[in-house]
Amino acid sequence: MAFFRVGIFGFGGGPSSIPLVHKEVVEQYKWMSDEEFSDVLALGNAMPGPIATKMAGYIGYRVGGVAGMINAVLATTIPTVVAMIFLLTVLNAYRDVAWVNGMAAAVVPVVGVMLAVLTWDFVKKSKGALGWGLAIVMIAGSLVLLEVLGVHPAIVILAILLYALLFGGKTGAKA
C-alpha cells in the first residue's frame, strides 16, 4: 500500500514522489531511519532511471525480498501508467481550456513546498551529523558544483562519499 499511494499521488515525477516515499517508508511504516533513507536517496539519484522506481525496488527488496521488490515496483508504476494514459487523453482533448492550464500550473508550487520541507529536514540532520560549519560548506559547495558549474549529481555524490570514507571518522557530530 505504501508504494501504491506513492504511485497514485506522486504526480510530477521523482521530485514529487520523494517526499511521499519518505512519509510512507520512514514515518508511516518505519522501515528505515532518516539516515538510511538519505543514503538510499543519494545512491538512487546517482543511478540512471526514475528515482521512485529505484527506491521502490530497493526498499521493497529490503522489506520483503524478491516478492517485496516486485510488489513495490508494480505498485509504484502501474497507477502512474494508468493515470498517465487517462490524464494525457483528457488533457489532449481539453488542452485549450483555461482550467486545464491552471490545474497544471497549480501543481508546481505544491511540489516546490514538499521539496523545500524535505530539504530543510535534511539540512537539520546534516547539522546534527556534521555541525553547521561543515554542513553549510557542503551545501554551498554542492550548489555551486551542480547549478553554476553544471557538474553531474553522480560526481558530486561520489565526491561526498569519498570524503566520508576518507575523513568520516575524523569529523564527529558538532553542536
* CA 19 and chain centroid, separation: 6
Q: What is the pLDDT of residue 70?
A: 96
Domain ranges for the chain? 2-107
pLDDT in tens, 67-121: 999 999 999 889 878 878 988 888 888 878 888 778 778 888 888 888 888 888 8
The dihedral over CA atoms of 76, 82, 87, 90, expressed in degrees to the nearest 10, equals -170
pLDDT in tens, 62-71: 999 999 999 9
Whether 173 shows a pLDDT value over 80: the answer reads: no
Determine contact, residues 46/154, Cβ cutoff 8 Å: yes
Confidence of residue 174 (pLDDT cuts 50, 70, 90): very low
How confident is the prediction for the chain on average, in pLDDT?
85
Confidence of residue 27 (pLDDT cuts 50, 70, 90): very high
Cα angle 39, 159, 46; round to 5: 50
Confidence of residue 12 (pLDDT cuts 50, 70, 90): low
Determine contact, residues 2/25, Cβ cutoff 8 Å: yes
- Residue 55 burial (CB < 10 Å; 0-12/13-18/19+)? buried
Q: What is the pLDDT of residue 65?
A: 96
